[in-house]
């Protein structure tokens, strides 16, 4: 049984790289993912209107014997879970998968964000309202 907790101190950082692919690239699923993070953990430690660096959470996952610290973020390849693999423990992969499942099974909170892909000159409006998520991409800023 795992417990999940957001680390909210602004000065907390974790040197991490992509550890677990969420299987989500873009679209309504990415909106649901972000809305579910809001339900579970509140506002992220960091957010911007840059689609390649949209938000960042630092999440502590623990069980009876261990603790792991994961970053959950939206980067160039979509939502992902990061981990400092120098700290690689055999059970970190299981803990990250449990975190991903918890996020995916959580009802998303209402939100509406506008982010931009500078490389593609596109504007993305995405969010959730009453459990229904939306994603709209259009050209131009």
Q: Residue 24: its pLDDT value, please?
A: 84
- Give the other-Cβ count within 10 Å of 66's Cβ: 13
Burial of 47 (0-12, 13-18, 19+ CB in 10 A): middle
Q: Residue 103: its pLDDT value, please?
A: 98
- pLDDT tens-digit profile of 47-85? 999 999 999 999 999 999 899 999 999 988 899 999 987
Q: Residue 118: its pLDDT value, please?
A: 86
Q: Residue 134: its pLDDT value, please?
A: 97
Cross-strand pairs, 4 = 61
- pLDDT tens-digit profile of 86-111? 666 678 999 999 999 999 999 999 99
Q: What angle, rounded to 10 degrees, do the helices at 28-41 and 92-105 form? A: 100
The per-residue pLDDT of the chain, averaged, comes to 90
Residue 123 has pLDDT above 70, yes or no: yes
Residue 9 has pLDDT above 90, yes or no: no
């Amino acid at each position: 049984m795992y417990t999940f907790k957001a680390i909210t101190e602004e000065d907390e950082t974790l040197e991490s790289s992509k550890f677990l692919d969420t299987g989500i690239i873009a679209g309504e699923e990415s909106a649901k993912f972000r809305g579910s993070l809001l339900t579970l953990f509140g506002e992220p430690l960091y957010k911007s209107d840059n689609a390649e660096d949209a938000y960042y959470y630092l999440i502590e996952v623990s069980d009876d014997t261990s603790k792991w610290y994961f970053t959950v973020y939206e980067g160039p390849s979509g939502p992902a879970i990061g981990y400092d693999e120098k700290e690689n423990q055999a059970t970190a992969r299981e803990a990250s998968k449990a975190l991903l499942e918890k996020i995916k099974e959580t009802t998303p909170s209402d939100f509406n964000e506008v982010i931009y892909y500078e490389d593609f000159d596109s504007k993305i409006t995405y969010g959730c309202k009453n459990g229904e998520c939306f994603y709209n991409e259009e050209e131009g800023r």
